[in-house]
Homo-oligomer: A and B are copies of this chain.
Amino acid sequence: MRWKLLPLFAALALQAETGADAWLRYAPVAAPPDLPAVVTVLGDSAVLRAAQQELIRGFRGMTGRILRAESVAPREGAIILECCDASLSGDAWRLVTEGGNIRIRGGNDRGVLYGVFALLRQTALAQPIAERMEAPRVATRWVNEWNNLDGTIERGYGGPSIFWDKEHVREDLSRVRAYGRLLASLGINGCSINNVNANPRILSAEFVPQIARIADAMRPWGVRVAIAVDFGSPKSAGGLDTFDPLDPTVVAWWKARFDDLYRAVPDLGGVVLKADSEGRVGPSTYGRTHADAANVAARALAPHRGLLFYRGFVYDHHMDWNNPKNDRARAAYDNFVPLDGKFDDNVIVQVKNGPIDFQVREPASPLFGALEKTKQAIELQITQEYFGQARHTVFLAPYWKDTLDFNVRGPVKSRVAGFVGVSNVGLDDNWTGNHLSQANLYAFGRLAWDPDLSAERISAEWTRLTFGSDPEVAQTVNEIQLSSWRTYENYTGPLGLQTLTDITGNHYSVNIEASERNGWGQWHRADAQGIGMDRTVARGTGYIGQYRPEVARVFESLATCPDDLLLFLHHVPYTYRLHSGATVIQQIYDSHYDGAARVAEYARRWKALATAVDEQRYREVLAQLEYQAGQAIVWRDAVTRYFAKMSGIADAKGRVGRYPGRIEAEAMQLAGYVTQDITPWEAASGGKAVTCASGVCTALWKFDGAAGWHTLNVQYFDMPGAVARYRVLVGAQVIDEWSASDRVPARRLDAGASARRVIAGVALRPGDEIRIEGVPEGADPAGLDYVEIQ
């Protein structure tokens, strides 16, 4: 017989810092508070027991002392956990000190748990234990996980699903329990566990017990499970001949399915529904409205107190690009404003922060200001789909704060009834694929609880909890995080251009024309004369008119429109001068060079923390930042060359198209390697790369620079699924070799596959023959773009 090893003690084992504990590391604190020795829980529930255990675990880690777990009125000073305080609403909590006692009361048992996590957080942050009351701004604080039942995740960058594998719930749900704990520490109380592009099978009888297992794993952490459903299910899965929401057999079918589900999971949080969008079927098939669609499911949920989240992300992706009045940005408003007041009480319309789709900068969606009789939740994307997919560090709290504080008719944060974060954590030890990206989950949870918190405070909290109290570490990490959004915007899509990425492909790497001449509507309309989407009321799509007049006036006039949103709202010539005084084209050049330089600086600064950060996380973050620095140059060169060519206007600083020390692979002396055009041309330096079909291929050239110590930057292509090998020789001397085995989001040989190998400290002499040898494997042709010698 065996006991299951409790996480309490597993955590005490001397483990490497893998990132698995995220901000709940409970590392020893320098000056532990003077605590009672007892933690008494009054009342009994799985959540209260979890709260008591967490308090013991946390203080054991931080102070080395094991609090006594008791459940009767204490005979000595104690931390008393008590439910429920009628003066507190729902998830709120109050901490009072009385004599030798610390008493944490909750409006419900989750409130107690949240109070416990707050006390632990204060201790870890070396804040004194003070009397306090906290209540969340909104009752609904959920995450969505776009996990497919086969274990893949749509837009997930931290490994496979923690919930599903091979069309079935995972046998081992220990990561689900651990995730529940992370969510609870932030006050997140709901989690939908399958992709919004839902597989109809989720509603079949075989999945009911599987969903129940996940709910059991989450329940002690006060996290209610929800599912996403497909609107066509009555027909596709239920065998009916219709899914018309007004058809009585359809109404009965939804009721029967949810009744079944609630028998197994009585506290199911509800359902997420995406309909009539991006190829999902919806009510339009039968001429019904989104309100009809939402209400049929909501009425089946209502007896169980379940919520129906209806996604506001509805638009036509077959719009005519040639019609200058067409505008995807208008879609959410146009679709939902006419239905205001038609939704049942337990329906929440879930609206993305901006009118398009999680682009690098968007104004707040005008829908937030327009719906008056409909509950809304703001949908924020924690997973970095258009933000470098966790291979680039981008801390999103400053962006989210801009949106939440934006005054649509009152600030957005005051107009929403819920927060929904698209999280998409995975089985990677560190959950998100990048240690620094964990900060986005933390920030989402903290803002969902209290949207008045500043990005600076959230970053400071997260950094200290995650990396400890070293002031140099804190300063470096905070400065990287807080500047990272601007930096990423600078090298991907400044001035409101949106993320200039491959929107019909990987949503990751640079592809400027991917936005254009198709029906997806993420148009920037760059041509030889000018650039930007005219969304004015006067001449353009009229999108600006969806805002209240005070906002619309500012946006409509070039004189007042903020530079950061200029090209999202206006079409202007390249020579147009910004408020900053720079021309649009020069600002495009400058911001890209600034952004790329900034990432290089991040990597340099991180290196200074070599002995201050634990080994594994130091190494992994360094590798991520160095990769990002290389990709930022790829972005910089692609965007600046593209617009230099398109506009015919040269960079005033003479950088674009001139790359001192760069040798194109196609200009080297090739043996085996063949030159090929890369599409789009801007994805490779010179528009070309060299690739190797088989054997060992060679590219060589003679160095003609000055004798001295040099750095070689080899820009090569790393294709996923196969491992090409490279080595570099100076004369007969091998100076470096590596394998291209990174987890990159490339789908073809373009900028998404572009990677950089930095070989420092090379002694070169004029006339040296430098040779790169590549050995392809399978789908990876050992491609080379260029070498830059510094």
Q: Which residues of A contact B (CB under 8 A)?
A: 1-3, 5-6, 8-9, 14, 16-17, 37-38, 60, 63-69, 614-616, 619, 622-623, 695-696, 709, 725, 727, 730-739, 759-763, 765, 775
Of the candidates A37, A66, A730, A762, the one having the most CB atoms from chain B within 10 angstroms of its own CB is A66
Q: Decide: A737 and B6 in contact? CB cutoff 8 A.
A: yes
For this complex, 7 residue pairs linking A to B, each with C-beta atoms less than 8 Å apart, are A3-B737, A14-B623, A16-B16, A65-B763, A66-B761, A69-B732, A615-B615
Find chain B residues with CB under 8 A from A622 CB.
14
Q: Decide: B16 and A775 in contact? CB cutoff 8 A.
A: no
**Looking across the interface, which residue of chain B has its beta carbon closest to that of A618?**
B14
Find chain B residues with CB under 8 A from A762 CB.
66
Q: Decide: A737 and B775 in contact? CB cutoff 8 A.
A: no
Q: Which of B3, B6, B38 contacts A775 (CB 8 A)?
A: B3
Q: Decide: B16 and A615 in contact? CB cutoff 8 A.
A: yes
Q: Decide: A761 and B3 in contact? CB cutoff 8 A.
A: no
Q: Decide: A709 and B763 in contact? CB cutoff 8 A.
A: no
A32 to chain B, nearest CB (A): 10
A2-B775, A8-B734, A16-B616 known; 12 new pairs, CB 8 Å cut-off, are A2-B725, A3-B775, A5-B739, A6-B737, A9-B736, A16-B16, A66-B735, A66-B759, A68-B730, A68-B733, A614-B615, A615-B616
Find chain B residues with CB under 8 A from A765 CB.
68
**Looking across the interface, which residue of chain B has its beta carbon closest to that of A726?**
B3
Find chain B residues with CB under 8 A from A65 CB.
709, 760-761, 763
**Looking across the interface, which residue of chain B has its beta carbon closest to that of A775?**
B1
A607 to chain B, nearest CB (A): 11
Given the complex of chains A and B, what is the CA–CA distance between A278 and B258 in angstroms? 80
Given A2-B775, A9-B737, A68-B730 in contact, is the A63-B615 Cβ separation under 8 Å?
Answer: no
Find chain B residues with CB under 8 A from A623 CB.
14
**Looking across the interface, which residue of chain B has its beta carbon closest to that of A612?**
B611
Find chain B residues with CB under 8 A from A38 CB.
763
**Looking across the interface, which residue of chain B has its beta carbon closest to that of A614?**
B615
Given A1-B775, A709-B37 in contact, is the A14-B619 Cβ separation under 8 Å?
Answer: yes
A693 to chain B, nearest CB (A): 13
Q: Which of B2, B64, B730 contacts A761 (CB 8 A)?
A: B64
Given the complex of chains A and B, what is the CA–CA distance between A598 and B709 in angstroms? 51
Of the candidates A6, A16, A68, the one having the most CB atoms from chain B within 10 angstroms of its own CB is A68
Q: Decide: B63 and A763 in contact? CB cutoff 8 A.
A: no
Q: Decide: B619 and A63 in contact? CB cutoff 8 A.
A: no
Find chain B residues with CB under 8 A from A16 CB.
16, 615-616, 619
Find chain B residues with CB under 8 A from A734 CB.
6, 8
8 tightest Cβ-Cβ pairs between the two chains A and B: A65-B761, A37-B763, A14-B619, A64-B761, A69-B733, A615-B615, A68-B763, A66-B761
A696 to chain B, nearest CB (A): 6
**Looking across the interface, which residue of chain B has its beta carbon closest to that of A761?**
B65
Given the complex of chains A and B, what is the CA–CA distance between A548 and B737 in angstroms? 62
Find chain B residues with CB under 8 A from A2 CB.
725, 775
Find chain B residues with CB under 8 A from A759 CB.
66
Given A14-B623, A37-B709, A615-B616 in contact, is the A695-B737 Cβ separation under 8 Å?
Answer: no
Find chain B residues with CB under 8 A from A760 CB.
64-65
**Looking across the interface, which residue of chain B has its beta carbon closest to that of A777?**
B2
Find chain B residues with CB under 8 A from A60 CB.
761
Q: Decide: B727 and A3 in contact? CB cutoff 8 A.
A: yes
Find chain B residues with CB under 8 A from A775 CB.
1-3
**Looking across the interface, which residue of chain B has its beta carbon closest to that of A68?**
B763
A50 to chain B, nearest CB (A): 15
Q: Decide: B37 and A1 in contact? CB cutoff 8 A.
A: no
Find chain B residues with CB under 8 A from A731 CB.
68
A469 to chain B, nearest CB (A): 11
Find chain B residues with CB under 8 A from A616 CB.
16, 615
Given the complex of chains A and B, what is the CA–CA distance between A727 and B4 in angstroms? 11
A481 to chain B, nearest CB (A): 22
Find chain B residues with CB under 8 A from A9 CB.
736-738
Q: Which of B66, B614, B619, B725 contacts A3 (CB 8 A)?
A: B725
Find chain B residues with CB under 8 A from A8 CB.
734
Find chain B residues with CB under 8 A from A695 CB.
1
Given the complex of chains A and B, what is the CA–CA distance between A759 and B64 in angstroms? 10
**Looking across the interface, which residue of chain B has its beta carbon closest to that of A56?**
B733
Given A760-B64, A763-B37 in contact, is the A1-B730 Cβ separation under 8 Å?
Answer: no
Q: Decide: A763 and B696 in contact? CB cutoff 8 A.
A: no
Find chain B residues with CB under 8 A from A66 CB.
735, 759, 761-763
Find chain B residues with CB under 8 A from A64 CB.
760-761
A378 to chain B, nearest CB (A): 40
Given the complex of chains A and B, what is the CA–CA distance between A709 and B63 in angstroms? 12
**Looking across the interface, which residue of chain B has its beta carbon closest to that of A69?**
B733
**Looking across the interface, which residue of chain B has its beta carbon closest to that of A15?**
B619
**Looking across the interface, which residue of chain B has its beta carbon closest to that of A470?**
B611
**Looking across the interface, which residue of chain B has its beta carbon closest to that of A762?**
B66
Given the complex of chains A and B, what is the CA–CA distance between A732 and B68 in angstroms? 10
Given the complex of chains A and B, what is the CA–CA distance between A378 and B64 in angstroms? 50
Find chain B residues with CB under 8 A from A619 CB.
14, 16
A29 to chain B, nearest CB (A): 13
A759 to chain B, nearest CB (A): 8
**Looking across the interface, which residue of chain B has its beta carbon closest to that of A768?**
B68
**Looking across the interface, which residue of chain B has its beta carbon closest to that of A64?**
B761
Given the complex of chains A and B, what is the CA–CA distance between A736 and B8 in angstroms? 9
Find chain B residues with CB under 8 A from A736 CB.
9
Given the complex of chains A and B, what is the CA–CA distance between A619 and B66 in angstroms? 22
Given the complex of chains A and B, what is the CA–CA distance between A760 and B615 in angstroms? 27
Given A60-B761, A66-B762, A734-B6 in contact, is the A696-B1 Cβ separation under 8 Å?
Answer: yes
Given the complex of chains A and B, what is the CA–CA distance between A763 and B8 in angstroms? 17
**Looking across the interface, which residue of chain B has its beta carbon closest to that of A71?**
B732
**Looking across the interface, which residue of chain B has its beta carbon closest to that of A711?**
B64
A64 to chain B, nearest CB (A): 4
